[in-house]
A and B are shown apart, each in its own frame.
Chain A
């Protein structure tokens, strides 16, 4: 176990070899589109903020924000909605990310979740996610009066996200109404709105998972070590590989902890995030794995399958 802990420390910021082949033109196009979205949305915003979950999309989003406003720092703070159930590695990486960005990091936890010790084990994934994530996010947005909120969601992730605009209007109660989306011809975005309404902005809308990893590869963007295969302590429950990330994990009767070579493709609260068995220990390994894999990115996210059209319902309530 000791060697694991050390390995984590060293590998928290993944570093890659120096020499890089030239970046494909379509990745540069995607980059330029995202930079343009950042500049436009911040220019039209009263009080912008960027959500930061410290996952791979957050890493890329932050990198693009820095490019958009270079040599200035991005003129907006980072916001982490802390459910208290993220992976330990995420908390460490989040702080490293924020510190190296030079941007202000705001952290919000729903006090109701603390008071009632809301957790995935006692309350189930749906209630836990609603209280810690959706409600927590809405509280933080109301508290700071943010009107333009950047997130790393991509259209290729999930079916309801594939229907969403880049500038996505939210009501006073942060609800998404898929039947009332504003047209955005020729990427002529605008963020004019009624008092209390807000916009969720998705600069990575047109990126795929493979694009994200290629970009990470070409730009040498640091990502959290959880994406790389490593022997980790896990429990296999209903076919889902769950990582025993800390001693709050509860084993069911008859369950046994085992060690497996695993990695994660998408990260959420650790008891709700399934891992995959893998040997991909670096970025090229992940890219090669993705070109042959036959399951989609969010397959391990149990919150997506707690009911049919789960993501759309969560989004309508104000989830990202």
Chain B
């Protein structure tokens, strides 16, 4: 076989298009071959200009999988974008966007599909420039293995190391280091071995299960699909040989994880729980547990449109029917009852920051893990990983393309797992609350809660039973407003009225909380958040006991009230804004606090030197400056009885 011209990167000329030699001639032959095919997903990465797009173009061309009209389009595109070029530029096969073609650089990932006689390859081309690294995350997350290109003349660059670190962080366990442009160093084995061992030393802490190195030349087609006499000193496989034989990672077989994606109402009202088995095996008759509620049931049937299945394996998209009615909704995660899953609301994670807006400790985001959504905050940035030395560096913020280790707290407990053992429950995204942009990808290292093996026990008597006995529903009425606005006055009057009507109530205020449960807390920002969290948790327990709970705290920040609302559940949460103005509160100054604050003796006094964020859409606005306490109480009684 003749080699194409080497005078231009990525160009091909004299050789006719490659051809698969093993095209099956009959339908039977075809079906047999297809049945044995396995899917392999790979990402091609490396710094800008190292020849990624050219490599893929050549891989497809040598495999005979660039069609004639695509080749003609390549000719046309080469003429338009590469004026001086004489031959089609194979890199243009990959760079599909106008901006990419004009700039001659890959901006976003490209997906291409290549069928060999053993495997169906999904090939993802990653951008090389540092500014576009975040676009690589999507591709790397799906890949079984990474192909990392280095320039034989340049050796390892920071971008090479960044890509190796990112691939490892996203869970890729197999890597092929392709040392490209060997033709420019006269196919020198020593340089190749030096690059190989330097990389292996660098990558040792990254946890790859296998790393191979292949000397190649994309312009000359060396060791891509065919071995070359120019590298007779190299005993290993060609790139294609490697891709056809490398072992593909299997999903963990234990524990079984089934995140519920969708609730199917069914023909006869028999509810079905739809989702994809993430790992493990689920068999008809198995006893399952809904992790958050602790409720158990047995699998009555595994339904698909093709009929019922005796058992479902990892990757199967199914619908479950259970033997009895229990509460299951989207976001729940089902396990086998003998191998329960864990929950947490605080964990340590590796975060890949993917947005130009910086991330900071204390800032709140929406977190999605499997099908679970929760509010979450970065509580502590522990360190950033230096991409070239892998050293831990102190860091106060998360910047675009940073890989950092952080602590994260969610407002409600979520089902989780460690990324390395239960991948589907150990990976998540953070979403900005305003723009809804996906700002970070994260992997869980471990929980920060000790009680990991406490699995929720489903109790015989539940909230509806207690509510039935009480004759009314449990509720949380959350009063918010400035100091002296009249929160306690209104809450107290409301409790008197409800109590008089035979309802079971409790009022949580500063006196009974700060002096006991929260007496260890001061007034720093972290303590303030913890104060509200504990109040919300206690209110939730009391509500679960069937009580109507009133809380009377300034709770000046929207984010904290949102956290409380999410903990308690939006349907149970009545937000009452006592809207008395600062002027009136200051005139009243029942406790003399405003005077002290004005004299500079109280730091962080809400309304004076610390902001009060009024609710945007409270359930009820109590204007104690205008309306009488009686009429407010009457309105609130109506609100509680109506719901």
Chain A minimum-CB-distance residue to B270: A71
Residue B435 at the A interface, CB < 8 A?
yes
Taking a contact as CB atoms under 8 Å apart, the answer to whether A31 and B317 are in contact is yes
Q: Which residues of A contact B527 (CB under 8 A)?
A: none
Interface residues in B415-432 (C-beta closer than 8 Å to A): 423, 427-429, 431
Taking a contact as CB atoms under 8 Å apart, the answer to whether A26 and B99 are in contact is no
Q: Please tell me the size bucket of the interface on A.
A: 35 or more
- Least distance between A44 CB and chain B CB atoms (Å): 9
Residue A121 at the B interface, CB < 8 A?
no
- Residue numbers of A with Cβ under 8 A of B are 21-22, 24-26, 28-29, 31-32, 35-36, 39-40, 42-43, 66-72, 155-156, 159-160, 162-163, 165, 178-179, 181-188, 190, 192-194, 205-206, 208, 210, 214, 284, 287-288, 291-296, 299, 308-309, 312-313
Docked CA distance A180–B622 (Å): 44
> Quick one: which of B68, B70, B262, B315 has the most chain A CB within 10 A?
B262
Chain B minimum-CB-distance residue to A22: B35
Residue B135 at the A interface, CB < 8 A?
yes
Rank and list the top 6 A-B pairs by shortest CB-CB distance, nearest first.
Answer: A159-B96, A192-B436, A185-B141, A35-B317, A26-B39, A70-B305
Chain B minimum-CB-distance residue to A184: B138
Chain B minimum-CB-distance residue to A32: B317
Q: How many A-B residue pairs have CB under 8 A?
A: 177
- Residue numbers of B with Cβ under 8 A of A are 23-24, 26-27, 30-31, 34-39, 67-70, 76-77, 80, 96-99, 101, 107-113, 115, 120, 122, 134-135, 137-138, 141-142, 170, 261-262, 264-267, 272, 274-276, 303-306, 315-317, 319, 330, 354, 366, 368-369, 371, 423, 427-429, 431, 435-438, 441
Docked CA distance A214–B32 (Å): 12
Taking a contact as CB atoms under 8 Å apart, the answer to whether A72 and B305 are in contact is no
Query: Which of B35, B98, B317, B366 is A36 in contact with, Cβ under 8 Å?
Result: B317
Assuming the contacts A70-B304, A178-B99, A291-B24, asked whether A185 and B38 have C-beta atoms less than 8 A apart, the reply is: no
Taking a contact as CB atoms under 8 Å apart, the answer to whether B113 and A156 are in contact is yes
Docked CA distance A39–B370 (Å): 13
Taking a contact as CB atoms under 8 Å apart, the answer to whether A71 and B272 are in contact is yes
Q: Which residues of B contact A210 (CB under 8 A)?
A: 115
Docked CA distance A99–B305 (Å): 18
Taking a contact as CB atoms under 8 Å apart, the answer to whether B23 and A291 are in contact is yes
Interface of B is mostly: mixed
> Quick one: which of B23, B76, B97 has the most chain A CB within 10 A?
B97
Assuming the contacts A26-B37, A186-B427, asked whether A165 and B138 have C-beta atoms less than 8 A apart, the reply is: yes
- Least distance between B511 CB and chain A CB atoms (Å): 41
- Pairs across A and B, CB under 8 Å, 30 listed: A21-B35, A26-B37, A36-B261, A67-B304, A67-B305, A68-B317, A70-B264, A70-B305, A71-B266, A72-B267, A156-B112, A160-B97, A162-B110, A178-B97, A183-B429, A183-B438, A185-B138, A185-B141, A188-B429, A188-B441, A190-B368, A190-B438, A192-B366, A192-B431, A194-B435, A194-B436, A293-B67, A295-B69, A312-B96, A313-B98
Docked CA distance A313–B97 (Å): 10
Chain B minimum-CB-distance residue to A188: B429
- Least distance between A234 CB and chain B CB atoms (Å): 20
Docked CA distance A71–B304 (Å): 8
Q: Which residues of B contact A181 (CB under 8 A)?
A: 108, 135
Query: Which of B35, B262, B366, B441 is A185 in contact with, Cβ under 8 Å?
Result: B441
Taking a contact as CB atoms under 8 Å apart, the answer to whether A183 and B274 are in contact is no
Assuming the contacts A32-B316, A184-B138, asked whether A291 and B30 have C-beta atoms less than 8 A apart, the reply is: yes
Docked CA distance A35–B80 (Å): 41
- Least distance between B374 CB and chain A CB atoms (Å): 13
Q: Which residues of B contact A163 (CB under 8 A)?
A: 96-97, 108-111
Beyond A32-B316, A186-B423, 13 additional contacts (C-beta under 8 Å) are A26-B120, A39-B317, A66-B305, A69-B264, A160-B97, A178-B99, A185-B170, A287-B30, A288-B26, A288-B27, A294-B67, A296-B70, A309-B101
Q: Which residues of B contact A214 (CB under 8 A)?
A: 34
> Quick one: which of B26, B27, B303 has the most chain A CB within 10 A?
B27
Taking a contact as CB atoms under 8 Å apart, the answer to whether A70 and B427 are in contact is no
Taking a contact as CB atoms under 8 Å apart, the answer to whether A42 and B108 are in contact is no
Docked CA distance A156–B265 (Å): 36
> Quick one: which of A40, A159, A186 has the most chain B CB within 10 A?
A186
Q: Which residues of B contact A179 (CB under 8 A)?
A: 99, 107-108
> Quick one: which of B39, B96, B141, B266 has the most chain A CB within 10 A?
B96
Q: Which residues of A contact B122 (CB under 8 A)?
A: 206
Chain B minimum-CB-distance residue to A285: B27
Taking a contact as CB atoms under 8 Å apart, the answer to whether B70 and A188 are in contact is no
Docked CA distance A35–B264 (Å): 14
Docked CA distance A227–B371 (Å): 39
Query: Which of B24, B141, B303, B330 is A70 in contact with, Cβ under 8 Å?
Result: B303
